[in-house]
Amino acid sequence: MLIKYIGVFIFLLSACNRIGSGKELNESDIKYIQGLGLLDENETIYNFYSEYKKRNAGNFFTDRRIATYWIDERNKEKNELSFAFYKDIVSIDTVYNAGLTFSPYILVKKSNNQQFKVSVGGSRDQIKSFFEEAIKQWNEQK
C-alpha cells in the first residue's frame, strides 16, 4: 500500500515539473511574473518550466528575453531573479548532463560578464526542444 502512495506522489510531483507552453500559464501566473519584473505587458512567454511551484520557481524564454527565478518564502535573502534580453546575451551554452542532483540547464552569459542558469527537466527530447527554441529566439532577436 505504501508503494502505491509513493508512486502516486512521484507521479503528481513529476506532472507539475514539465516543460509547458507559455499559453498554459493562467492570468494569475502571468501577473505574478510581471510583478517580479521579469515580463513586460506585451511580452509573450514561449516555454516555461518550474522545478517546484510556479510561485516559487520558474525558468522561461519569451519573444524578448530568457529568465529564471527562485522565490524562498521563508528567507527573502535567498530569492534569485535573473534575466537577459537577447540583445545583451553574448553566449548560450547548453548542459545536458549536469550530474545526478542537478537538472540540465542553459548557461546564459551577458555582455556585462554576468551569467546565470536556466534549468529545465523532462525527457531528453523535451529538453532539447526547449534549448533549441531558446537559442533560435536569441539568434533571431540579437
User: How much is the pLDDT for 17?
Assistant: 67
Convert the pLDDT of each residue in 12-59 to its tens digit.
344 456 799 999 999 999 999 999 999 999 999 999 999 888 889 999
Residue 42 has what pLDDT?
94
Mean pLDDT of the chain: 88
| pLDDT for 77 | 85
In degrees and rounded to multiples of 5, residue 110 shows phi and psi of -100, 165
Q: Which fold has domain 2-141?
A: PH-domain like (2.30.29)
Burial annotation 56-93 (CB, 10 A radius, 16+ → b, else e): ebbbbbbebbbbbbbbeeeeeeeeeebbbebeebeebe
For the entire predicted model, the pTM comes to: 0.84
Q: What's the pLDDT band for 1 if we cut at 50, 70, 90?
A: low
